[in-house]
Amino acid sequence: MGPDADKQQRAQPTMPAKLQPQLPGERHLQPAGRLSEDALRELRRSSIMHVDMDAFFVSVELRSRPELKGRPVIVGYPAERSVVLSASYEARAFGVRSAMPMAVAARMCPSAVIIEPRHKLYYEVSGQIMAIFGSITDLVEPLSVDEAFLDVGGAIRRLGAPQEIGELIRARVFRELGITASVGIAASKFVAKIASTRCKPDGLLLIRPEETVPYLHSLPVSALWGVGGKTVEVLARRGIRTVADVAASPLPSLRKLLGAAGEHVYRLSWGIDPRPVTPVRLEKSIGAEETFATDTADDALLHRELLRLSHRTAERLRGAGMHARTVALKLRYADFSTITRSRTVSTPIDSAQLLYAVAVQLLESVGDRPMTVRLVGIRAEQLDVAAEAPLQLSLDRRDDNWRAAEQALDAVTRKFGNKSVLPARLLDPGGDAE
Ligand code: DCP
Ligand code: MG
Domain limits of the chain?
Answer: 1-214, 219-269, 285-427
Question: How far is residue 387's CA from residue 142's CA, in Å, rounded to a whole number?
Answer: 15
Chain-centroid distance, C-alpha 133? 14
Which atom of ligand 1 is least distant from the CA of 83?
A: 8
pLDDT of residue 408: 58
pLDDT per residue as tens digits for the range 227-254? 888 889 999 999 999 999 999 999 999 9
DSSP string, 138-190: S-EEEEETTEEEEE-GGGHHHH-SHHHHHHHHHHHIIIIIS--EEEEEESSHH
CATH architecture of the domain with range 219-269? Orthogonal Bundle (1.10)
The pTM for the full model equals 0.64
Catalytic residue among 61, 141, 147, 406: 147
Q: Say how far apart CA 59 and CA 126 lie, in whole Å.
A: 12
Cβ count within 10 A of residue 430: 5
Establish whether 146 is an annotated binding residue. yes
Look at the domain 1-214 and name its fold. Alpha-Beta Plaits (3.30.70)
Interatomic CA distance for residues 386 and 367, integer angstroms:
34
Cβ–Cβ under 8 Å, residues 237 and 51: no
Mutate to test the pocket of ligand 1, among 59, 62, 85, 182 (most ligand atoms within 8 A of CB): 85
Whether the bond into 201 is cis, omega within 30 of 0: yes
Q: How far apart are the first and last CA of the chain?
A: 54
Task: Please list every protein residue whose CB sits less than 6 Å from any atom of ligand 1.
Answer: 52-57, 85-86, 98-99, 144-147, 200-201
Give me ligand 1 centre to Cα 73, in Å: 13
Q: d(Cα 97, Cα 94) in Å, to the nearest integer?
A: 9
Left (φ > 0), alpha (ψ -120 to 50) or beta: where does 291 sit? beta
Q: Residue 370 — pLDDT band, cuts 50, 70, 90?
A: very high
Query: pLDDT of 125-166, one tens digit each?
Result: 988 998 899 999 999 988 888 999 999 999 999 999 999 999
d(C-alpha 19, C-alpha 29), whole Å: 21
Q: Using CB atoms within 10 A of its CB, is residue 215 exposed (0-12), middle (13-18) or buried (19+)?
A: buried
Q: Does domain 285-427 have CATH number 3.30.1490.100?
A: yes
Is 315 part of the annotated catalytic residue set?
Answer: no
Contact yes or no for 260/349 (Cβ under 8 A): no
pLDDT-based confidence at 413, cuts 50/70/90? low
Per-residue pLDDT at 337: 94
Out of 7, 51, 52, 56, mutate this one to test ligand 1's pocket (max ligand atoms within 8 Å of CB): namely: 56
Mean local confidence (pLDDT), 284-298: 92
| Angle (CA) 412 416 417, round 5° | 100
pLDDT score of 67 more than 60? yes
User: Which residues face 140 on adjacent strands?
Assistant: 150
Which strands, in side-by-side order, build the sheet including 48-53? 140-144, 147-151, 48-53, 181-186, 204-206
The residues, ordered by sequence, that sit 6+ positions from 218 with a Cβ below 8 Å of its Cβ are 242, 243, 244
Angle between helices 261-269 and 251-258 in degrees, nearest 10: 130
CB 179 within 8 A of CB 59: yes
